[in-house]
Amino acid sequence: MKSKELRELTGEELAGQLATAREELFKLRMQAATGQLEKPVQLRAARREIARILSIMNESKQEERK
């Protein structure tokens, strides 16, 4: 998902997206460990997706504090 789309989601939906992304990263790491991962770029994309979601969650927390 793009950042613009993620910013439109609620906190609960973001938490769900984060859980899904972390689960996907776990699966990709397992595939990489067993040599079944065809596209190593997927690992990087999954990590970036998690970072993007966490950044947006932190931004919204900071806005709530103000």
Predicted confidence (pLDDT) per residue in 4-37, tens digit: 898 898 889 999 999 999 999 999 999 999 999 9
CA-to-CA separations, 54 to 7, 22, 30, 35, in angstroms, rounded: 11, 11, 23, 29
What's the CATH code, domain 3-65?
Answer: 1.10.287.310
- Checking if the pLDDT of 1 tops 80, the result is no
Distance CA 9, CA 29 (A): 27
Q: Residue 51 has which token pair?
A: 């970072």
**Overall average pLDDT of the 37-60 stretch:** 95
Domain ranges of the chain: 3-65
Confidence of residue 66 (pLDDT cuts 50, 70, 90): confident
